[in-house]
Each structure stands twice: as C-alpha cells, then as structure tokens.
C-alpha cells in the first residue's frame, strides 16, 4: 500500500490539535482516521542543522515506507523524533512498529 505525504499547514495543525498520540523510545506518533494513508514528518531545530534534520526526515520516511503495508485502515500520521545522540533506520523502524502495535494499528 502506498501513502501520500502531508504537506499543508492546515493538515498538520488539525493533527496536532485533534490527533491521538502514542509514544515509543525514539518517536512520538500522532495519528487520526483519514480518507487515505498519509504521513508527515516534523523535525525541530533542536535536532541540529539542516543537513542532520534532512537525514532524520529521510530515515523516518523510509521506516514508514517499510511499515505502511501492514497498517490497518487509513490514517494520517505525523512522526516526531525524540532527541538522541545518533539516529538509525533500524531504531526508527522498531519504535514505529512498537508504537503502532500498542495502539492496534498494525496487522
């Protein structure tokens, strides 16, 4: 299953205000039901300069791409990384799977 990216400011605002949160060691995931599977990434300036923030975004998108075929139903997600010394694809993937399983959003 493919997903589309959240890009509009209104979509982000709606998810931040009305979305449910689930937590994992490396991520905070905001989600709410949607018409189709969508995902956005929000990385603050606390995570470093633009090069490091863009790398984090790429890792999060790839982790979600691997996990999205097993998501039950259509949801809109925002992924917020927690501050860490180093970031890795495997850590993001494990955190995403554990958070979504705990909420019952994975098959």
Q: What residue segments make up the domains of the chain, in order of their start?
A: 4-98
Q: Residue 52: count other Cβ atoms within 10 Å of its Cβ.
A: 12
86: pLDDT strictly greater than 80: yes
User: For tokens 């039950």, what's the residue?
Assistant: 72
76: pLDDT strictly greater than 80: yes
33: pLDDT strictly greater than 90: yes
Pick 4-98's CATH classification: 3.30.230.10, 3.40.50.300, 1.10.510.10, 3.40.50.10490: 3.30.230.10
47: pLDDT strictly greater than 90: yes
User: For tokens 């990384």, what's the residue?
Assistant: 81
For the beta sheet containing 27-33, the strands, ordered from the edge strand earlier in sequence to the opposite edge, are 4-5, 38-41, 75-81, 27-33, 20-23
pLDDT band at 107 (very low <50, low <70, confident <90, very high): confident
Give the per-residue pLDDT at 40: 97
Q: Alpha-carbon torsion 44, 82, 61, 106, what sign?
A: negative
């Amino acid at each position: 299953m493919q997903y589309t990216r959240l890009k509009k400011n209104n979509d982000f605002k709606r998810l931040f205000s009305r979305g449910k949160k689930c937590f994992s060691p490396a991520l905070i995931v905001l989600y709410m039901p949607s018409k189709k599977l969508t995902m956005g990434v929000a990385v603050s300036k606390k995570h470093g300069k633009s090069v490091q923030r863009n790398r984090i975004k790429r890792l999060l998108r790839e982790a979600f791409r691997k996990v999205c075929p097993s998501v039950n139903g259509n949801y809109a997600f925002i992924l917020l990384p927690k501050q860490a010394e180093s970031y890795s694809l495997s850590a993001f993937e494990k955190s995403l799977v554990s958070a979504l399983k705990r909420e019952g959003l994975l098959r």
